[in-house]
Structure 1
Amino acid sequence: MKILKQLFDFYIDSSIHVALSCFALVKMTHYMFHIPADTPITYFAFFGTIVGYNFVKYDALARTKKFQMRNELKAIAFLSFLSLIVVGFCFFYLQKITQIVSMAFLSLTLLYTLPFFPNKRNARNWAGVKIYIVALCWVGVTLVLPILNSGIEITSDFYLKCVQRFILIFVLILIFEIIDLQYDDPHLQTVPQQIGVKQTKYLGYVLLMIFCGLEIFNVKGNDSLNVKYFSLSLQSIISFIIAVFLFFSNDKRPKYYTSFWVESIPVVLCVLLLIFG
């Protein structure tokens, strides 16, 4: 039992689970825009998430040498190194425009993590900015890059989906910020720190209603009634699930509440889409 818990903790701490969520959102993008299987961009997103998240989580600790290199951290470092090799390999199979835009999102990730200016904090510690940077990066990796790499025409559907994806990620991050309220530096000015937990939940509920409402404009006129009904129903179901997690979120919840259950929501959404779509 202890070994299973250690394996599960490694699965969470090494960012494999969050990478699976990213993978699920990329697959959803392929499904929604009728894009054939695109292995390079899918693997690029999955392994890139492992590299990016582990870099964000452990870089500051590594540079300040505030921890000893335990076996688990050595394994995470090795996994990240292997993932970086896969990311580099997949990068050269991407379209030129995808490579350029991916470098822009990489720069944003580095800005989020590293202090580029002397005596200045990184973007992760800029008051009130963290949630927008993270949501923007997720939209870029899971929606913008797959669309660009496919070469399909950019239409109003793309921009609408970008807004929906941003709202989805934004609300999920709100749950994280509520859970982490007792640990976050007050100077971060996270949403719960600025407006309180109760108002943050109300904000999340409103955004979820907007998320569902936008789906009305997202279905095409030539779609069948069944397709429109399914699309609206799916968005409503996933919004309800997120709303339930948001309702029960508080700073006393264990880490698995967000690091496993909340991060599983995109996977659930993808499975529902593939099974019933």
Structure 2
Amino acid sequence: MKIFKQIFDFYINSSIHVALSVYALSRITQYMFHIYDDEAIIYFAFFGTIMGYNFVKYDALARVQKKQMRNELKAIVFLSFLSLIAVGFCFFQLQIHTQIVAVAFLGLTLLYTLPFFPNRKNARNWAGVKIYMVALSWVGVTLILPILNAEIIIGSDFYLKCIQRFILVFVLILIFEIIDLQYDDPHLKTVPQQIGVKRTKYLGYILLLIYCGLEIFNINGNDNLNNHFFSLPLQSIIAVIIAIFIFFANENRPKYYTSFWVESIPIILGFLLLIFG
């Protein structure tokens, strides 16, 4: 059993699981906007997530512990290096305008990780900013880039989906912030730190109602979208699942509560669309 736990922990710690969530959301975007035969942008998102998340999580640790890195960290560094090669290969298959926007989101990731300004911490430690930067990055990678690369005409449906995707990721991050409340620096000013856990949960419930309400506009909106009859029920099911996770979220939950189960929600949505869509 120990070997299986080690494999599972590596799967989580190396960001493969979160990359699958990004992959699922990117596939959902392609499904919604009738995008076919565009694998480069999907794998760019997948391998870019592994590289980006591992860089954010382990860059400083790998530089400090060069001579005494444990085997798992060495494997993660190697996987990240292979992902960097894959990202580069996929990058040069993208449209020029997509490459430009992708570089912009790369800059956002670097800003999040590295201190570019003298006597300043990186953006990850800027008070109250983290949740918005992460949600914006996910919207960019899983929705904006696939749409740009497919050269689809941008209309009201696109903006509605951007808002809806932002809300989805924002609410999922709220769960992370509730779980991590006891570990987060008070100066980060996360949502639970500013308004408390109870109000954070209420905020999550309200945003989920808005999320479902936007799906009604999507169904009755532009013909660019793949507006299937099951779309609203499926989104409602996902909203209920997220609401349950919010309800039971507290500081005493194990790390797998968020790092595996919460991050599985986009994957679940992808499977539901695959089965019923």
- Which category describes the TM-score, using the shorter chain as reference length? over 0.9
Q: CA deviation at 1:220?
A: 3.5
Write the mapping of 1:1-277 to structure 2, written as runs, cut at 5 A: 1-65=1-65, 68-220=68-220, 229-277=229-277
Q: Does the CA contact (< 8 Å) of 1:204 and 1:246 recur in 2? A: yes
Amino acid at match of 2:114: L
Classify the secondary structure of the residue corresponding to 1:11.
helix
Q: 1:133 to 1:67 in 2, by over 3 A?
A: farther
Amino acid at match of 1:233: P
Q: CA deviation at 1:130?
A: 0.2
Q: CA RMSD in A?
A: 1.4
Runs (5+) with no aligned partner, structure 1: none
Classify the secondary structure of the residue corresponding to 2:183.
coil
Q: Does the CA contact (< 8 Å) of 2:208 and 2:239 recur in 1? A: yes
Tell me the alpha carbon deviations over residues 36-63 of structure 1, each in whole angstroms, 9 at most, x when there is no partner: 0311001100000000000000112234
CA distance in 2, matches of 1:175, 1:67: 36
Tell me the alpha carbon deviations over residues 95-153 of structure 1, each in whole angstroms, 9 at most, x when there is no partner: 00100000000000000000001210110000000000000000000000000000111
CA distance in 1, matches of 2:217, 2:86: 38
Q: CA deviation at 1:231?
A: 1.3
Q: Taking structure 2 as the reference length, what is the TM-score of the superposition?
A: 0.96
Runs (5+) with no aligned partner, structure 2: none
Amino acid at match of 1:189: K
Q: 1:114 to 1:221 in 2, by over 3 A?
A: closer
Classify the secondary structure of the residue corresponding to 2:230.
helix
Tell me the alpha carbon deviations over residues 222-261 of structure 1, each in whole angstroms, 9 at most, x when there is no partner: 87xxx56411111110000000001000010000000000
* Aligned positions, number: 274
Q: Taking structure 1 as the reference length, what is the TM-score of the superposition?
A: 0.96
CA distance in 2, matches of 1:53, 1:248: 26
Classify the secondary structure of the residue corresponding to 2:121.
coil
CA distance in 1, matches of 2:172, 2:163: 14
Q: Does the CA contact (< 8 Å) of 1:50 and 1:83 recur in 2? A: yes
Tell me the alpha carbon deviations over residues 41-93 of structure 1, each in whole angstroms, 9 at most, x when there is no partner: 01100000000000000112234449930000000000000000000010000
CA distance in 1, matches of 2:253, 2:78: 31
